[in-house]
Chain A
Amino acid sequence: MPAADRVAAARDRLEGVRSWLERHGLSLAALGTTAVLAVMLYLPVGVVFVEAVLEEGRPTLAHFAEVLTDPFYFGALADVFADPLAVGDHLASLAGWLGAISVAPTLAYPIPGLDLPVPWLALDAPPVRKGLFGFTAYQAALSTVASVAIGLPAAYVLANYEFYGRRTLRSLTILPFVLPGILVAVGFYSMFGRTGTLNSLLGAVGLGPFAFVETSPLAIVILAHAFYNAPLVARLTVAAWESVDARTVETARSLGASRRRAFRDVVVPQLLPAVLTGALLTFIFTFMTFPIVLALGGLRLATVEVWIYDRVQRLAYGEAATLAVLETMLSLGLTYAYLRYESAQAGFSRAPSPTPKEPLFPDLRTALSPRRLAVLGYGLVALVLFVGPMASLLVGSVTDGAGFTLDHYAFLLERQLEGASFQTLPLPAIRNSLLFGLATLAVAVPMGVVISVLTVRAGRSGRIVDALAMLPLAVSGVVFGIGLLQGLVFGLSLPGGWRLQLTGSVAIVAAHAVAAYPFVTRNVSPLLANLDPAMVESARALGASRTRALLDVELPLVRSGIVAGAAFAFAISIGEFSSTVILASGSESYTMPVAVERYLGRRSGPAIAMGSLLLLVTAASFVVIDRVGGGERA
């Protein structure tokens, strides 16, 4: 066979492989996704959850009965669970409670430390025992409201105005996400504490000092939750806002709608799924919050997750698993309800042509308009809440009891240069974090997109699959960690004398990807559902394979969602602690948050310096990711 023919044959073969791959690309990706999920999610979680229904190896529902009827966990509801058929008694006690509510006018002093009476209606209701689950849901609901309230104005400003540093600021909104809990706690105390930065500033204008943390621990905890989650709401909403088709607004305006009316009827429906997604994720996250509640609020504010952690520490896996199953059922139930709503929002969007951004402060007159002043006021709030704690950390890394010092960084440098192999070194931690982050991107983005594509148009069954795909968010981190330990680190015995074990870097990346892909899915699904199905159908009719249509038609149109999801995936990976520390134990695959934890001994300086490095490295990577991903069309 002449050489030219051989080359041609080889080319044909390659072409054949390529077209086969293209035809089956989606199925292959789905298979890969399923495999990762089976080993890294369903196996570890299953290993623990099964403990909830086993007693000495026999199936039982005793654990559930015990937890559901325990007033400590379910407060007033426990009686109902204990005796669900005694409807008359339950109604009587409810009526008795309703009858005891009284409303009376009174004077309240809402501002701590100021004798400023405000007329107020005092609602006097007899206390209801909320139980641990009730309180957890209560603080999660408050945190959700706060996060949405603080996150939406940020999304509004970032999506509609142009100002110097906007893109960088947008990249940095993710930072709170990656901070280990201990650093957030220390940052919050040094910002809002009695001798904190805020009190120094207020003191300069003759106010205070106020004991913010001391007098209202719940408020501080909710603020800390908003610190973590408002950026999440903001980022999700900005991505949706920028994919709004400006022409739809123009059409509405030309048909005589006022600006406000056009916004309400055209823009809001396109933003609502994103806002509600943010609210849902925030609720789920703050429902499973730990250790930040204890660190700032104390044991009074303990949540279900605190108890799960304690049960796991005491090796009471049955009770821990039961609590975790109940927690998960609640989260998945909420997710399913939300997805039913989301899929009802069928879209018709063809191609986003983003609204042009106005300059924020074009001239002095505009700068003094009420709207711009409100933006400025919000900026101040954001400065105190977001920049404050992080700046306090950076300051803390260069000070000690005696004032300015570079000792903490000197320690890191010295450790890097002279540290022994069994010690934790800063550079490998940074390198591992970045590598795991990139690898997580490479795995989680395709996984998330595949799940979106498979579920968006699949009707009711798709919604159930989609809700189940949110499992990583709904599973307690403590339980997931224990499952990884028992299922993968210790190894599982398989039939035939085989043993499955999985640790080290690959396992860490897989665990991060499992934790991160739901963010990709939640960022991409709403946009994908909004696309006009006719576009894909035309492409298919013209002979494109499903994969080709996805790559050439759909994905470019939902690019902003993919980039937003990718940013989250990277952030989740950088900030992940609980599974990483389990999978990295005894090896050199430690990451930055793990290093922070290990440097935190009886002196906090080195840990805070490491935490500052974590902040700086993450900030730099995000600016790069957003630039490379072209987070928006210029």
Chain B
Amino acid sequence: MKRRTVVGAVAGGATLGVAGCLTRDGNGDGNSNEGDGTLTVVTYPSMIDEENAAGPWLKEAFESEHPDAELEWKQLPDQRINHYIGQADGGGEIDADVYLGLNVDDLVAVDDNLADGGLFRELETDRLDRADRIRDGLDLGDPHGRALPYDTGYISLVYDESEVDEPQTFEDLTEPAYEDALLAQNAQTSDPGQAFLLWTIDAFGEDGYLDYWRELDENGVRILDDWSESYYGAYMEEERPMVVSYSTDQVFASAEGNDLTRHQIAFLNGQGYANPEGMGIFEDAGDVDLAYDFFDFVLSNEAQAEIAQRNVQFPAVDEEYVDLDEEFDKYAHVPPEAVTVGYDRLRGNLDGWVEDWAREFASQ
């Protein structure tokens, strides 16, 4: 499996009825997106498929700004970054130019499994006009400078104020008042679940986080599979009064016509865990200039506002460079202090942290 092979042609399965193929190496048509004015951007489904998703707006606005360019969206494969790690490892060809939606742990996974600093190009920020607009503290901390943040979310607690008081600190959650109250997600399978775990590691350190979780366990924390199941299944059916979720929860709740008493935000220790999302350019991208144009466009005032509001995340640029709707400002809460565990601390540690934690909890 690890044997690198000469890149063969990829007859993409993009059309119905492609059965597959046997091809000879070296007679392929090379990269199908070689500077022909088409930028292929791969991103997660909700950027494309959600109601009012940002994707269609971005495509239209970008193409009207660059009349001779075309933006082509591609759904991120189910395996996410692992798909591309596997593809690079097996000598396959990656058929995208840009990845929109990179997380820090994606970069860590790349470097743990491929060559250091692999898969994406080091970005030359001097080719961008608007790179300096990005807020401090959102940096993904990649020593190879492969990703630029375009928005961020904050993990916080969402609680029902008619059932529990607002928890102030992590220690509060281990008190009798919050017995059998908290729903969290499995850090093995869920992004917010992993973020909350990392937040406790930030708060209690590598040596203290498991003790804290044991106390949470004694107080009856419930760890479910995925954010959607925990939120739409358990939390919205009032199984429990608190859930680990996003600080933009009220934006959705008010849009759905829900009563906001069940959608109060709690920032433990006055913090929220920042999950900045970045964009990167694949190593063998066809049209690098166009990718830089796209990055500049994404950081523009209007695009930042649209992405934030449609994606229900916060902009990556300083306040002076983006004008958000009042409605959004009213319902999207920013934590007093943002914390995050950066690249350097995650590198080589993340998998071990998650596994130790999961073994602690799984069936014995």
Contacts and interface: CB of A to CB of B under 8 A. Distances in A.
Given A189-B233, A486-B86, A506-B19, A501 B10 contact: yes
Contact of A491 (B92, B259, B362): B92
Contacts of A75: 364
B8 interface: yes
Interface stretch (B67-75, B317-325, B331-339): B67-75
A601 B362 contact: no
B16 A505 contact: yes
Contact of A135 (B2, B237, B257, B363): B363
Given A306-B188, A603-B51, A604-B228, A190 B358 contact: no
A12 B138 CA distance: 80
Given A211-B239, A315-B85, A501-B21, A598 B363 contact: no
Contact of A422 (B25, B72, B229): B72
Q: Report the contact-size class of chain A (Cβ under 8 Å from the partner).
A: 35 or more
Contacts of B16: 504-505, 587-589
Q: Report the contact-size class of chain B (Cβ under 8 Å from the partner).
A: 35 or more
Given A213-B239, A599-B49, A586 B86 contact: no
A497 B72 CA distance: 32
A307 B237 CA distance: 28
Of listed B5, B6, B234, residue having the most chain A CB within 10 A? B234
A493 B180 CA distance: 54
A400 to B, nearest CB: 5
Given A188-B233, A313-B188, A486-B90, A504 B82 contact: no
Interface string A117-144: 0000000000001111001100000000
B312 interface: yes
A423 B48 contact: yes
A579 to B, nearest CB: 10
Contacts of B233: 185-186, 188-190, 193, 295-296
A434 interface: no
Interface in A288-316: 291, 294-296, 298-303, 306-307, 309-310, 312-316
Interface string B210-243: 0000000000001111101100111001111000
B364 A214 contact: no
A65 B2 CA distance: 24
A501 B20 contact: yes
B191 to A, nearest CB: 12
Nearest to B232: A604
Contact of B17 (A306, A313, A490, A505): A505
B29 interface: no
A402 interface: yes
B225 A294 contact: yes
B108 to A, nearest CB: 11
Of listed B14, B51, B186, B252, residue having the most chain A CB within 10 A? B51
25 contacts: A75-B364, A185-B229, A189-B234, A193-B234, A194-B239, A294-B229, A296-B233, A298-B224, A299-B186, A299-B223, A309-B189, A401-B259, A402-B256, A420-B73, A424-B48, A424-B49, A485-B83, A498-B23, A501-B21, A505-B16, A506-B19, A589-B13, A602-B246, A602-B312, A604-B232
Given A186-B229, A314-B351, A586-B13, 19 more contacts: A72-B359, A186-B233, A194-B237, A214-B180, A296-B224, A302-B361, A306-B189, A486-B90, A491-B90, A497-B25, A498-B24, A503-B13, A504-B17, A585-B77, A598-B49, A601-B50, A601-B51, A602-B252, A604-B228
Give the 4 A-B residue pairs with the shortest CB-CB distance, closest first: A502-B20, A503-B13, A402-B257, A193-B237
